[in-house]
Amino acid sequence: MPAAGPARGRDRAGPAGRGPGRYPGGHRRHRRRAGRAAQIAVQFALAQVGLPYVWGGDGPAAGEVGFDCSGLTHAAYEAAGVSLPRTAHTQYHHGPLVRPGTPLMPGDLVFYGVRRASTTSGSTSAAAAW
């Protein structure tokens, strides 16, 4: 699955890059503006090193001992003042896409999962901050 940032989402370009796509004209400007928020989000996430993984966890501020993957990315970007959906699936479908072949930047989110034959969207399993 594609890489995405705090306001980046699913590639909808279709086969061989054809189709509507979600590559906004201000793609490069957006990534530069996102730099400070990404720094804050990464610093927040690094400060959580050592907390346990908790399925569905939203962290100590929510009264839980740890985070799950999307809970951590959600909390990290919330600390940076960026609104990001809570679950990996909704984060994956949120915002503009990082174009294929574009080097990842600190704060970009990388999603992976399993594409199911019975659906077109598959299942987004996790989010990871780069």
Instruction: Note whether 41 and 80 are within 8 A (CB).
Output: yes
Mean local confidence (pLDDT), 10-15: 33
Q: Domains in the chain, ordered, with CATH?
A: 3-13+23-129 (3.90.1720.10)
**H-state helical runs in the chain:** 27-46, 69-79, 88-92
Strand partners for 30: none
Whole-model pTM over 0.75: no
pLDDT in tens, 44-101: 999 999 999 999 999 999 999 999 999 999 999 999 999 999 999 899 888 777 888 8
pLDDT confidence bin for 14, thresholds 50/70/90: very low
pLDDT above 50: residue 21: no
pLDDT confidence bin for 31, thresholds 50/70/90: low
What is the number of other CB atoms lying within 10 angstroms of the CB of residue 44? 19
The pLDDT value recorded for residue 13 is: 32
DSSP, collapsed to helix, strand or coil, labels residue 25 as coil
